[in-house]
Amino acid sequence: MTYDISAILLDEEKIEKRISDLAACICKDFENKTPIMISVLKGSFIFLADLVRSLTIPVEIDFLAVSSYGNSTVSSGVVSIKKDLDVDVTGRDVIIVEDIVDSGLSLKYITEYILKHGAASVSTCVLLDKPEAHRDDIKIDYLGFEIGNDFVVGYGLDYAEKYRNLPYVAILKEEIYS
C-alpha cells in the first residue's frame, strides 16, 4: 500500500494536535447545547471518531452518504444522496463533518439539504480543504488544514475504496490514477 504513496502530507501527530484544537473550538461554541454531528460517509469516519472523542459536550451522531465521484478522482458535478439521515434535524444545531472539500459541491449540497429539513443551524467541520479547486463560495466553520490540489488518501480518504486505513494523509502517486 505504501508503495503507491509519493509523500506523507500530514502525519498522525499533526492530525491529532489539530483535531484537539478544533474540538476545543466546537466545545466553546456549543457550550450547553447538544449538536447533531452528521458524518459524511465514507471518507469522514476516522475524522469523526477522533473528533467526537475529543469533545467534552454531549453530541448525537448520524451519517449521510452522497455520491459525486464514483471511481474517478474528479467530481462529476452531480451530487446525490445514497444514504439518508436517520435522525430528525428539525430545530436542531447540526455540525456536518466532512473529510475534504474539493470543488465544494458536495458540502454545499449537504448544507442546503439539512437546512431544507428544518435545522436551526448548520455548521461545517472539514479536515482538509483544497481552496484552489472551489467552484463556488464555500463556508467552512472549523477547518483542519488547507492543502494543494494533489489527490490525497489515508485517514479515511480513499482512491477506488483503497488506502482508507492508512493512519496519515498522503499524496497518491499520479501513475496510480492516471
Give the footprint of Mg ion on this chain (CB under 5 A). Answer: 40, 43, 99
Rounded to a whole number of angstroms, the minimum distance from the CB of residue 45 to ligand IMP is 11
The listed partner (ligand IMP, Mg ion, none) that binds 69, CB under 5 to 8 Å by sort, is ligand IMP
For helices 12-29 and 45-53, give the axis angle rounded to 10 degrees. Answer: 60
Query: What does the DSSP assignment read for the chain?
Result: -GGGEEEEEE-HHHHHHHHHHHHHHHHHHTTT--PEEEEEETTTHHHHHHHHHT--S--EEEEEEEES-TTSSS--S--EEEE--SS--TT-EEEEEEEEESSSHHHHHHHHHHHHTT-SEEEEEEEEE-GGG-SS----SEEEEE--S--EEBTTB-BTTBSTT-SSEEEEPHHHH-
Nearer to Mg ion, 24 or 81 (CB): 81
Contact between 102 and ligand IMP per CB under 6 A: yes
Nearer to ligand IMP, 57 or 164 (CB): 164
Out of 50, 99, 102, 129, which one is annotated catalytic?
A: 102
Contact between 163 and ligand IMP per CB under 6 A: no
Nearer to ligand IMP, 36 or 44 (CB): 44
Active-site annotation holds for 129: no
Nearer to Mg ion, 99 or 129 (CB): 99
Contact between 45 and ligand IMP per CB under 6 A: no
Catalytically annotated residues? 102
Residues that bind ligand IMP (CB under 6 A): 40, 43, 68-69, 75, 98-107, 151-153, 157
